[in-house]
Structure 1
Amino acid sequence: MKTRVLFLCSANSARSQMAEVLLRHFGGDRFDVFSAGTEPSTVDPRTLEALKGFGLEAQGLVSKSVESLGDQHFDYVISLCDKAHRECRYWPGSGVVMAWDFPDPKVSNDPKAFERTLQEISERIRLFVLVNSKDVNSEVKVLQPLEFYKSLADETRLLSLLLIEQEGELCVCELMTALDLPQPKISRHLGQLRKAGLLLDRRQGQWVFYRLHPLLHDWMRDVLRQTREHGTRMLRQPLARLEAMGDRPSKGGNVCGTALAG
């Protein structure tokens, strides 16, 4: 039988919805997943945008009340805010009650708050799947340190990762401009990074955009961030070219003129 998991937060509009989608995506073959709120409202559009941006299915999500679940049994009841944990600490018939306290992205001034919250929850979900599975789900890619550092050993791949880490998201033509390299070479290296699990791509119209994979380990993100912060000299010229590009696709522009798939 599948393990039944319930995610709770106050409004069931952001954090618990993210956790439900992530666990269903990575562990749907062994977990029955639910989410609800103590004071349900509506799913925040920014939640849907963040999920879609990371290639996760976001259709059909609705906010649900805790009362709608009646007296169902759950093997895990996991709250994602203090308020929900206080109100549902003693769920009837539950096996394990856990508190995962993540800051509410809805009250943050950070324009990337929803994306960052999704990244943080995804890391916790990945560990939850691994800990509670007899074997590692083949769909959950666990990037190993050796593979990570091998990916950084090429200048084009390293600079591409550092530029994407700084900008949040870049398309192929933006990297072509920044690195002054032809499309086939950029696309080949991006494909290698995507296959290794460092990057995730999404298509929007004629563009293909790349961003760091949401399941990338926190320490790997720290390595890239610190490398960027201490590697200003090698990034100076690529960033200057990127700035001079002007009407960039990642900023809503259409400067490239033709589609450049990765």
Structure 2
Amino acid sequence: MEASRPGAVLFACTLNSARSPMAEGLARKLFRSTMEVASAGLRAADMDGFALCVMAEAGVAMMDHVARTFDEVDLSRFDLIVTLSPEAHHRMLELTRDLSTPVEYWPTADVTCVDGARDHKLAAYRGLRDALMGRIKQRFEPEGRATMKVRSVDIP
């Protein structure tokens, strides 16, 4: 295992309905056999439909995702916690105050706030998915390893 790749990572955001489950799904697809991955939020909400759609485009099925809150996970079992929203970051710093677990903040746009037509929203979610994929690869993938291609398809 690479020194920079932790054995267990938690992705955290506000609702555990879009950003953090998307990051969890992408990291799990890339590193299923070498890294335990989970996600949680300050609050739990149903999985976002646009997130489900763009993740399916990338070959990541998210229909079985069950949203969890920070209170429902044992934070001490993770080697790294990645926060994706300011609210999650501040709360996670409080919760991990007595743990040795590092917390990294990856500022990530809240695409659930994007207004407009369906195509405009899908484009925003695809941008988030692709940005998360790039950041996950940059942070956890050893150099020279083959990469997973993400293919976008228009869905009527």
Secondary structure of 2:76 counterpart = coil
Shift of 1:128: 1.5
Q: Relative CO higher for 1 or 2, CA cutoff 8 Å, sep ≥ 6?
A: 2
Equivalent residue for 1:116? 127
Shift of 1:93: 2.6
Distance 1:113 1:31, change over 3 A: same
Secondary structure of 1:88 counterpart = helix
Shift of 1:58: 2.0
Equivalent residue for 1:72? 76
CA contact (8 A) 1:5 1:74 kept: yes
Secondary structure of 1:127 counterpart = helix
Fraction of identical pairs, as percent: 24
| 1:184-195 alignment runs, 5 A limit | none
CA contact (8 A) 1:8 1:78 kept: yes
More helix by share: 1
Equivalent residue for 1:205? none
Q: Are 2:132 and 1:126 aligned? A: no
Q: Give the residue type in structure 2 aligned to 1:19.
A: A
Shift of 1:95: 2.7
| CA offsets 1:143-171 (integer angstroms, 9 cap, x no match) | xxxxxxxxxxxxxxxxxxxxxxxxxxxxx
Q: Give the residue type in structure 2 aligned to 1:7.
A: F
Unaligned runs of 5+ in 2: none
Large movers: runs of 4+ above 2 Å: 70-73, 92-95, 135-138
Distance 2:35 2:71 in 1: 21
| 1:1-262 alignment runs, 5 A limit | 3-90=7-94, 91=96, 92-109=98-115, 110-111=120-121, 112-130=123-141, 133=142, 136-138=144-146, 140=147, 200=151, 211=152, 252=156
What TM-score do the two structures reach when normalised by structure 2? 0.82
RMSD: 2.3
- Aligned pairs, how many? 145
Unaligned runs of 5+ in 1: 142-196, 201-210, 213-249, 253-262
| CA offsets 1:212-240 (integer angstroms, 9 cap, x no match) | 8xxxxxxxxxxxxxxxxxxxxxxxxxxxx
